[in-house]
Amino acid sequence: MKNNALTYLVIGTILLIIGGIFLFLSFRYNVRKVRVFTPGSTEFVVSVISLAISAFAIVFGTIRLIYSQSRIKGSQKTILATELKK
C-alpha cells in the first residue's frame, strides 16, 4: 500500500509539472507581439485536465501514505507486544 501511495505521488508530481508547462504554452503572441491568454487553445485544455488529475493523484497518494504508515505502526506494536521474552 505504501508503494502504491508513493506511485500516486510521483505520477501526480509529473502531471503537475506537465500541466504547468502547458499552462505556460497557452499564452500566445498576438499580432502586436504581446502575450495574451487563450483559454480556447488545446494547450489550455490539456493543462486543465493534467492539473486536475495531478491534484487527485497527490491528494489520494497522501491519504493512502498516511493510512499505510498508521497500519505499519500498528503492526509493529502488535509484533512487539507478542514477542517472547527471554
Higher pLDDT, 14 or 80: 14
In this structure, are residues 58 and 69 in contact, taking their beta carbons and an 8 Å threshold?
A: no
Average pLDDT over residues 43-54: 95
**Taking the model in full, what pTM does it have?**
0.79
Q: Round to whole Å and give the CA distance between 78 and 58.
A: 30
First to last CA, the chain: 34
Average pLDDT over residues 6-16: 95
Least confident piece of the model among 13-22, 53-62, 73-82: 73-82
According to the model, what pLDDT value does residue 80 have? 83
